[in-house]
Structure 1
């Protein structure tokens, strides 16, 4: 089974509070991200938590992973999340907590395109985004790439031989919610679909 990994550890400095706790349509982004991965067919689902971890609500169906070194950046959260996964997990789908337009359909597409040992990345307008699937053989490569606020992007650039791209423009978007103004713009956009 392909696992899911939600990176939700940051402080959300530009937002003014941890984005994991920000609500969209009455649902915290962290719960929305867990639901995205579960609905996309991932199991187990691990959630890397840092800033505001003690305020995060129950996450049914997910394993919370405490990351005390979250100030080191997204890269350290990615490595912490990968290290938390069971040894028999062959691959993991990674998403970020602050991208509420990601779709379970996109998660399923990257899962279905998985080739053993490779990387599958959703693209939007021809540009790589999330979700991204990382086959276990690629995880050790990330030790040199996942540094500071960098995750797997430079690995994709340097090792195109490992990468399969899957267009997902028709099933969502990679918009980040970094500020309250971003969330207002998102809610007004044509791409936004409230649940239900």
Structure 2
């Protein structure tokens, strides 16, 4: 599938309470970029069409993002990941400029180590009626690419319920792509995790 028909969507509206008092999205990596800035830059290499999901009140400059970053603001982030995902997908469905988009790659804002070639390999497998997920060493990881046929179910998500339930209901359309990329399993939940990122 062409890059123009798969939209990359980075979920970065969560409160990361396990991380502590600091907003981990703003924490600096060894290269000087913020965690979120690094994740966005990596995703942008594979997805020319991109949206970054943040809270309504977020200052994108504090997050390390430029004024040209395509932002999608959600109002119910405090209700959980499912609420943010559902609200963001509703925005995509209602955006007339995205009618040609056949699938959305759902990325997490705290996963900056996924290789761009992994994202491009997954993109090639995407389709309107497919659910695509990478696997490394026999274990599935992120991101998950959801075909447009599943967007109405995603839009109905509430609370902390993520997309796993949608995947379970559509096992016949679910496909794992083996990749040589441990980054699909590396997320930042603590300060130690942040220090382990090169």
Q: Same fold (TM over 0.5)?
A: yes
What is the CA–CA distance in structure 1 between the aligned matches of 2:181 and 2:193, rounded to whole Å? 21
| 1:90 counterpart = 2:102 | yes
Structure 2: tracts of 5 or more residues without a match: none
1:172, distance to aligned residue in structure 2 (A) = 2.7
SS in 2 for 1:39: helix
Per-residue CA distance 1:11-34 (angstroms, 9 max, x = gap): 221212222212212111221121
Runs of at least 4 residues off by over 6 Å: none
Equivalent residue, structure 2, for 1:173:
184
Retained in 1: the 8 A contact 2:25–2:109? yes
- Structure scoring higher RCO (CA < 8 A, sep ≥ 6) equals 2
Greater shift, 120-129 or 68-77, is seen at: 120-129
What TM-score results when the alignment is normalised by the length of structure 2? 0.83
How big is the shift at 1:82? Answer: 1.8
The alignment of Structure 1 onto Structure 2 pairs a total of residues equal to: 185
Q: Which runs of 5+ in 1 are unaligned?
A: 188-193
Q: What is the CA distance between 1:35 and its match in structure 2?
A: 1.3
Corresponding residue for residue 37 of structure 2: 31
Q: Within 1, Cα distance between the matches of 2:161 and 2:152?
A: 15
SS at match of 2:177: strand
Structure 1 match to 2:7: 3
Confirm whether residue 103 of structure 1 aligns to residue 121 of structure 2: no
* CA-based RMSD: 2.1
Provide Cα deviations, 1:131-155, integer angstroms capped at 9, x if missing partner: 11111111112245x3333321222
CA contact (8 A) 1:10 1:18 kept: no
Mapped pair 1:73 → 2:84 = no
Contact 1:19 1:29 in 2 (8 A): yes
